[in-house]
């Protein structure tokens, strides 16, 4: 089985590169790092303790011991869900931010995860049931490369039963997540009830699913490269004269790719609505997207832009200054706080990078949180801030434009670190 994995990933990996292995402690990930280590790759065991189950502490301890047994570095993320977002989405982002940080630490760009054939089948079925694009219907890719980091999945050539047999034969200790036995989630129901029946009809279902995935992803890659080339040649906008001559598959992907660049949701309905206005012969049109973005058709071109509800304002604040933002918020520094209508953040005088900047939000703004970063647009959505109020919320940055405080809604991880050592307050009074 080790040779099967070697042949499968031979062209994806350089033997001299280090690999950050995502190891939860399950049979799949335990087998993953064992196989890569046996093949001679320099592995780092990266474990995330989600602190969601009683067994989490024991699993972290065992994975630390496992790293010692394999003679590989051990890295752990102590993740505590803050309850402000969807757990699965938030924890996913935290995990991958952690893996990327470990890549930087060990001077590599390779992350390996333990997805296998059965995961592939489940994902394809879910995408078919819920709807997706060409790439999504292809399920899990063998390799994702964003230009900086590469995520590889060496075990996609193996079934879950193959992996169980391998860890048993090699006497490897692993843990089962008890939630995997429940039928609360669609993926589990497919795993327990549907896929076994499909495998009875087609014993080679795993191999067929992998071939199907590779075919769709190859087709998607070809279309996506053409989408990127088209938008690059036209400075990121659609030129209707040329766009309307393109194949429908390329048209749809150009629109999808534009949405991805602005991190806005795309689905068949949205893409079809955009295609509809682009095919009309006259009139300027707009389609509202999420996160304060709109798709604009304007004469012979079309593009995505952010809605700005009020004029942009930016102020500088030095130690002895007092400034008023949007005729509503008064900002100043103080050694104490004693006003009822004032809010504040605690700062460390010796680490202040002045002047502070007080401004509206900008496209792409993000704030540093405990386990990575979070977009301001996501914060406003989670906090249910009305769209017409978001541009008036003060955003406080240091001199290097690192966001410290989104007034009333979020503080950066750096601010929390000053809780005990801070010796000066940035105060904001709301003017009645």
Q: What is the pLDDT of residue 13?
A: 78
Average pLDDT in the chain: 88
Closest C-alpha to 174, from 57, 63, 46, 75:
63
Exposure string for 346-381, b = 16+ CB within 10 A, e = fewer: bbeeeebeebbbbbbbbeebbbbbebbebebbbbbb
Closest C-alpha to 366, from 375, 358, 378:
375
Q: What is the pLDDT of residue 239?
A: 96
Q: Are 13 and 111 in contact (CB under 8 A)?
A: no
CATH topology classification for 2-209: Rossmann fold (3.40.50)
Q: What is the pLDDT of residue 83?
A: 53
Instruction: State the CB neighbour count (10 A cutoff) for residue 233.
Output: 10
Q: What is the mean pLDDT of residues 288-314?
A: 84
Pair type for strands 42-49 and 74-78 = parallel
Closest C-alpha to 406, from 322, 315, 335, 345:
345
Q: What is the pLDDT of residue 52?
A: 74
Classify 328 as helix, strand or coil.
coil
Classify 407 as helix, strand or coil.
coil
Closest C-alpha to 198, from 312, 132, 117, 316:
117
Classify 329 as helix, strand or coil.
strand
- pLDDT level of residue 374 (50, 70, 90 thresholds): confident
* Local structure of residue 264 (DSSP, 8 states): -
Q: Are 167 and 27 in contact (CB under 8 A)?
A: yes
Q: What is the mean pLDDT of residues 143-156?
A: 91
**Residue ranges covered by each domain of the chain:** 2-209, 234-306, 314-430
Q: Are 215 and 209 in contact (CB under 8 A)?
A: no
Instruction: Identify whether 355 is preceded by a cis peptide bond (ω within 30 of 0).
Output: yes
Segment 386-403, tens digit of pLDDT: 877 888 899 999 888 889
Asked which of 108-122, 161-175, 220-234, 278-292 is least confident by mean pLDDT, the reply is 278-292
Classify 61 as helix, strand or coil.
helix
- pLDDT level of residue 346 (50, 70, 90 thresholds): confident
Q: Please tell me the pTM assigned to this model.
A: 0.67
Share of the chain above pLDDT 90, in %: 53
Segment 212-249, tens digit of pLDDT: 999 999 999 999 999 999 999 999 999 999 999 999 99
**Is residue 84 predicted with pLDDT exceeding 70?**
no
Instruction: State the CB neighbour count (10 A cutoff) for residue 208.
Output: 13
How many Cα atoms occupy the beta-carbon half-sphere of 57 within 13 Å?
1
Task: Give the C-alpha separation, 175 to 164, whole Å.
Answer: 12
**DSSP letter for each residue of 103-130:** HHHTT--EEE----HHHHHHHHHHHHHH
Architecture in CATH for domain 234-306: 2-Layer Sandwich (3.30)
Segment 173-191, tens digit of pLDDT: 999 876 666 777 888 899 8
Q: Do domains 2-209 and 234-306 have the same CATH topology?
A: no
Asked which of 48-52, 65-69, 234-238 is least confident by mean pLDDT, the reply is 48-52
Q: What is the pLDDT of residue 88?
A: 64
Q: Are 411 and 368 in contact (CB under 8 A)?
A: no
**DSSP letter for each residue of 306-358:** E---S---EEEE-TT-EEEETTTEEEEEES----TTEEEEEE-GGG--SSEEE
**Is residue 85 predicted with pLDDT exceeding 60?**
no
Q: What is the mean pLDDT of residues 419-424?
A: 70
As given in the structure block, the two tokens for residue 319 are: 């130690």
């Amino acid at each position: 089985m080790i040779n099967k994995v070697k042949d499968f990933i031979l062209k994806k990996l350089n033997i001299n590169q280090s690999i950050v292995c995502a190891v939860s402690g399950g049979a799949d990930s335990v087998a993953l790092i064992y196989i890569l280590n046996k093949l001679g790759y320099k592995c780092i065991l990266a474990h995330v303790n989600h602190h969601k189950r009683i067994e989490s502490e024991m699993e972290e301890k065992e994975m630390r011991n496992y790293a010692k047994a394999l003679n590989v570095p051990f890295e752990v993320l102590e993740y505590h869900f803050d309850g402000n977002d969807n757990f699965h989405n938030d924890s996913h982002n935290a995990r991958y931010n952690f893996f990327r940080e470990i890549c930087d630490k060990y001077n590599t760009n390779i992350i390996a995860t333990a997805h296998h054939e059965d995961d592939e089948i489940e994902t394809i079925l879910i995408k078919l049931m819920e709807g997706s694009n060409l790439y999504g219907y292809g399920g899990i890719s063998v390799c994702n490369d964003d230009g900086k980091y590469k995520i590889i999945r060496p075990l996609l050539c193996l079934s879950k039963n193959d992996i169980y047999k391998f860890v048993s034969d090699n006497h490897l200790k692993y843990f089962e997540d008890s939630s995997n036995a429940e039928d609360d989630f669609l993926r589990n129901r497919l795993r327990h009830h549907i896929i076994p029946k499909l495998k009875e009809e087609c014993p080679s279902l795993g191999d067929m699913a992998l071939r199907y995935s590779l075919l769709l992803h190859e087709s998607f890659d070809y279309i996506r490269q053409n989408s990127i080339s088209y938008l690059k040649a036209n400075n990121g906008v659609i030129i209707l004269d040329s766009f309307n001559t393109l194949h429908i598959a390329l048209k749809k992907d150009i629109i999808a790719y534009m949405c991805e660049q602005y991190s806005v949701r795309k689905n068949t309905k949205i893409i079809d609505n955009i295609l509809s206005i682009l095919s009309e012969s006259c009139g300027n049109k707009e389609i509202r997207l999420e996160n304060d973005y709109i798709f604009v058709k304007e004469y012979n071109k079309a593009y995505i832009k952010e809605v700005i509800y009020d004029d942009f304002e930016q102020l500088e604040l030095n130690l002895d200054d007092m400034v008023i933002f949007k005729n509503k918020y008064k900002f100043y520094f103080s050694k104490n706080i004693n006003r009822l209508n004032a809010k504040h953040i605690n700062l460390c005088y010796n680490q202040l990078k002045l002047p502070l900047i007080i401004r509206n939000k900008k496209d792409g703004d993000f704030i540093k949180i405990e386990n990575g970063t979070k977009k301001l647009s996501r914060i406003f959505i989670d906090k249910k801030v009305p769209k017409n109020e978001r541009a008036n919320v003060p955003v406080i940055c240091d001199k290097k434009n690192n966001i410290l405080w989104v007034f009333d809604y979020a503080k950066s991880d750096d601010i929390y670190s000053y809780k005990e050592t801070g010796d000066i307050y940035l105060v904001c009074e709301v003017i009645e």
